[in-house]
């Protein structure tokens, strides 16, 4: 065992899952005391089981670490408070919170039921809010904390699970907002989008779906083969461990991408084109009379103009359609 996190106490949600369990083991191996939280649900978020959490706790203990189990659901606001309190009561305080819980209910927008929408938004977004909400009370008081939330590359937009994409986009915004609010109290909040073969990404149904996409010409052979050789979740934790150490005190509000042999960081979301009453910057393709430009035109129009065209091919083709193509024409009024 190393000692980078000796004396620190962590709550890891989804701690029995593919990625969460690896994070629990890695934090414990660095000396942190862990509350392993998981309801033991199926992939779609239904059902409960205690054994998966207990197995992770036992593995940590067998390797010389310290861990206790929590079977609370993060979707329940009161249960989430109990989860954070359990860490404080057992170990004295909470230093680290990792939200690695999740479920999937995949459907196209036109087939998605209200229940499928609610379930995924509740687990990913509300669950992450709940634990952060209660942990931030403690972290603000003690002027120290490290929060890591798990998002997905799907936050940029996705096909076949708009509920998941929206929830993960919400997690990004939530994390960045927490970073802004809590930074002055010595608390950092970052998130990461992993790629790892777990039951969520690599079960038989998903593999069959990818094969169908290949056969239907929706993805290339290269993309299919890359998917089929997806590495496991054991490659995820090293950057997570780094982000919760003292060394990473200045890294706040960032979105990382993590997969085997690759760590990426997303750019800051920024307004890249604008038109104002004072000056037209020749960027947006909008025909409008000058008198119709509202005072805060630059902001509002960009929100409305994101040019995401219909999905008609592999993601690589879609990415080519970007804001820079757009021009503005404003008529004098
Ligand atoms: N595996 C990937 O490639 C990948 C890619 C992008 C994002 N993610 C995200 O990473 C996180 C972990 O996913 P994973 O691949 O390890 O999946 P997983 O299914 O193995 O783990 C998810 C865990 O969350 C638990 N869980 C579900 N609902 C819960 C609740 N209400 N309270 C507490 N625990 C609950 C489940 O029981 C499960 O153990 C998820 O947020 C997922 O969206 C994973």
Q: How far is ligand 1, taken at its centre, from the CA of residue 271, in Å?
A: 32
The predicted structure's pLDDT at residue 110: 97
Among 37-41, 264-268, 295-299, the range with the most confident prediction by mean pLDDT is 37-41
Cβ 298 under 6 angstroms from ligand 1: no
How do residues 8-24 score in pLDDT, each as one tens digit? 999 999 999 999 999 99
pLDDT band at 317 (very low <50, low <70, confident <90, very high): very low
* Phi and psi angles of residue 233, each rounded to the nearest 5 degrees, phi first: -75, -5
The predicted structure's pLDDT at residue 102: 98
Mutate which of 102, 163, 199 for ligand 1? The one with the most ligand atoms within 8 Å of its CB, which is 102
CATH architecture for the domain at 9-196+231-265: 3-Layer(aba) Sandwich (3.40)
Q: CB count, 10 Å around CB of 8? A: 22
Residue in 31, 25, 21, 24 with CA at minimum distance from that of residue 1: 31
pLDDT band at 312 (very low <50, low <70, confident <90, very high): very low
Q: How far is ligand 1, taken at its centre, from the CA of residue 149, in Å?
A: 11
Q: Which residue CA neighbors atom 39 of ligand 1 most closely?
A: 17
pLDDT band at 270 (very low <50, low <70, confident <90, very high): confident
Cβ 169 under 6 angstroms from ligand 1: no
| CATH 3.40.50.720 boundaries in the chain | 9-196+231-265
Residue in 14, 11, 10, 83 with CA at minimum distance from that of residue 53: 14
Contact 98, 13 (CB under 8 A): yes
Active site residue 164: yes
Question: Which ligand 1 atom is the nearest neighbour of the CA of 52?
Answer: 39
Separation between Cα atoms, residue 148 and residue 172, nearest integer Å: 11
Of 118-122, 258-262, 317-321, the least confident: 317-321
Question: Which ligand 1 atom is the nearest neighbour of the CA of 103?
Answer: 27
Tell me what the pLDDT averaged over the chain comes to.
86
The predicted structure's pLDDT at residue 125: 98
Cβ 69 under 6 angstroms from ligand 1: no
The predicted structure's pLDDT at residue 276: 66
Q: How far is ligand 1, taken at its centre, from the CA of residue 197, in Å?
A: 12
The predicted structure's pLDDT at residue 295: 44
Residue in 230, 240, 221, 172 with CA at minimum distance from that of residue 200: 230
Separation between Cα atoms, residue 60 and residue 36, nearest integer Å: 10
Residue in 172, 188, 148, 206 with CA at minimum distance from that of residue 24: 148
Cβ 199 under 6 angstroms from ligand 1: yes
Q: How far is ligand 1, taken at its centre, from the CA of residue 125, in Å?
A: 12
Cβ 236 under 6 angstroms from ligand 1: no
Cβ 56 under 6 angstroms from ligand 1: no
Catalytic residue from among 164, 224, 242, 311:
164
Q: Which residue CA neighbors atom 27 of ligand 1 most closely?
A: 102
Q: Name the DSSP class of 122.
A: I
Query: Which is more confident, 330 or 60?
Result: 60
How do residues 20-31 score in pLDDT, each as one tens digit? 999 999 999 999
The predicted structure's pLDDT at residue 2: 81
How do residues 148-188 score in pLDDT, each as one tens digit? 999 999 999 998 999 999 999 999 999 999 999 999 999 99
- Does position 286 have pLDDT exceeding 90, yes or no? no
Burial of 141 (0-12, 13-18, 19+ CB in 10 A): exposed
- Please calculate the CA angle 51-54-58 and round it to the nearest 5 degrees: 135
| pTM strictly above 0.75 | yes
Cβ 15 under 6 angstroms from ligand 1: no
Q: How far is ligand 1, taken at its centre, from the CA of residue 16, in Å?
A: 9
Q: How far is ligand 1, taken at its centre, from the CA of residue 100, in Å?
A: 6
């Amino acid at each position: 065992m190393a000692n980078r996190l000796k004396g620190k106490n962590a709550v890891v949600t989804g701690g029995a899952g593919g990625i969460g369990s690896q994070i629990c083991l890695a934090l414990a191996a660095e000396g942190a005391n862990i509350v392993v939280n998981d309801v033991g649900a199926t992939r779609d978020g239904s059902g409960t089981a205690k054994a998966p959490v207990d197995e992770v706790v036992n593995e940590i203990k067998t390797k010389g670490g310290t861990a206790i189990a929590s079977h609370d659901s993060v979707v329940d606001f009161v249960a989430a408070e109990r989860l954070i309190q359990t860490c404080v009561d057992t170990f004295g305080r909470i230093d680290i919170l990792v939200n690695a819980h999740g479920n999937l209910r995949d459907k196209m927008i036109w087939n998605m039921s209200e229940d499928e929408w609610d379930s995924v938004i509740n687990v990913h977004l509300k669950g992450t809010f709940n634990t952060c909400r209660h942990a931030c009370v403690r972290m603000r008081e003690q002027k120290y904390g490290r929060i890591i939330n798990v998002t997905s590359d799907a936050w940029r937009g996705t096909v076949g699970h708009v509920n998941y994409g929206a929830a993960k986009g919400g997690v990004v915004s939530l994390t960045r907002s927490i970073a802004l609010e809590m930074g002055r109290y010595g608390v950092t909040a970052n998130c990461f989008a992993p790629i790892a073969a777990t039951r969520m990404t690599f079960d038989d149904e998903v593999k069959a779906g990818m094969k169908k996409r290949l056969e239907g010409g929706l993805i290339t052979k290269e993309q299919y083969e890359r998917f089929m050789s997806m590495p496991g979740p054991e490659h995820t934790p090293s950057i997570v461990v780094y982000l919760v150490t003292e060394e990473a005190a200045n890294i706040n509000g960032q979105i990382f991408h993590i997969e085997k042999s690759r760590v990426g960081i997303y750019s800051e979301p920024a307004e890249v084109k604008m038109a104002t009453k004072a000056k037209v910057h020749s960027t947006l393709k909008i025909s409008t009379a000058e008198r119709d430009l509202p005072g805060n035109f630059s902001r509002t129009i960009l929100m409305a103009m994101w040019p995401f065209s219909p999905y008609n091919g592999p993601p690589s083709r879609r990415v080519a359609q970007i804001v820079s193509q757009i021009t503005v024409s404003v008529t004098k009024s």
